[in-house]
């Protein structure tokens, strides 16, 4: 793996922990942040010893830091880490298709999705997007009806697509995702997940 990819993973993890370069450099025992800056930009080579040192300072094992950098580059996000990943903030996009499986939920979004500012920021050349949620438990679906939020069978989610379903937002917690969708009525999905895959279609 290239130094640049590892450097980007270190930078991403540092930001998720809310640490400045100076704060992480201090944890690593550096006098200033110049060495860290070179590692994050891929200028400095990363030895095995350095990798272990950085992983420990970031609260990960070396293996987790390597898989973290590989997965982030592919758009795979794990919700089992001590610190939650920063997911692409996709909103106000139309959902074209939903596939409801026993262990996963797949959302397929509209064509020409990059015309939305929220998507253009993450992937300006994207034509569409698929988000797959790997389920760890039975999902819960709630619908807003008559001013009340009531439970609904999870399988009915597929029927909501015919109403012109819009993906409003999602809230991420430890192994938990709450998704708000808007069609003929507001729909709220409560998912327990281990992993989320973002697949950009160009």
Question: Domain locations in the chain?
Answer: 3-74, 93-201
Using the predicted structure, report yes or no on whether residue 15 has a pLDDT greater than 90.
no
> DSSP assignment of 104-142, as one string?
EEEEEEPSSGGGSHHHHTT-TT-SEEEEEEEESS--EEE
- What is the pLDDT confidence band of residue 1, given thresholds at 50, 70 and 90? low
For 86-108, what is each residue's pLDDT tens digit? 778 888 999 999 998 889 999 99
Q: Is 138 exposed, middle or buried (0-12, 13-18, 19+ CB in 10 A)?
A: exposed
pTM of the model: 0.66
Q: Can you give the pLDDT at residue 134?
A: 93
- CATH 1.10.260.40 holds for 3-74: yes
Q: Report the DSSP pairing between strands 93-100 and 166-173.
A: antiparallel
Q: Which of 75-79, 173-177, 180-184 has the lowest mean pLDDT?
A: 75-79
Q: Can you give the pLDDT at residue 75?
A: 79
For 56-89, what is each residue's pLDDT tens digit? 998 888 877 776 656 655 677 777 655 566 778 8
């Amino acid at each position: 793996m290239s130094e640049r990819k590892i450097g980007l993973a270190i930078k991403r993890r540092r930001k998720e922990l809310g640490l400045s370069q100076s704060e992480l450099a201090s944890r690593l025992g550096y006098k200033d942040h110049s060495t860290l800056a070179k590692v994050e930009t891929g200028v400095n080579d990363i030895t095995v010893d350095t990798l272990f040192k950085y992983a420990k300072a970031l609260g990960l094992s070396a293996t987790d830091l390597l898989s973290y950098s590989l997965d982030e580059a592919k758009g795979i996000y794990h919700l089992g880490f001590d610190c939650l990943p920063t997911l692409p903030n996709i909103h106000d996009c139309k959902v074209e298709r939903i596939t409801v499986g026993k262990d996963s939920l797949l959302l397929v979004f509209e064509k020409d999705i990059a015309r939305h500012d929220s998507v253009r920021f993450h992937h300006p050349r994207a034509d569409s997007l698929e988000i797959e949620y790997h389920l760890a438990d039975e999902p819960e679906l709630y619908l807003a009806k008559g001013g009340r939020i009531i439970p609904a069978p999870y399988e009915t989610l597929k029927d909501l697509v015919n109403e012109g379903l819009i993906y409003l937002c999602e809230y991420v917690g430890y192994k938990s995702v709450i998704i708000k969708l808007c069609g003929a009525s507001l729909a709220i999905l409560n998912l327990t997940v281990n992993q989320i895959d973002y697949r950009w279609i160009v």
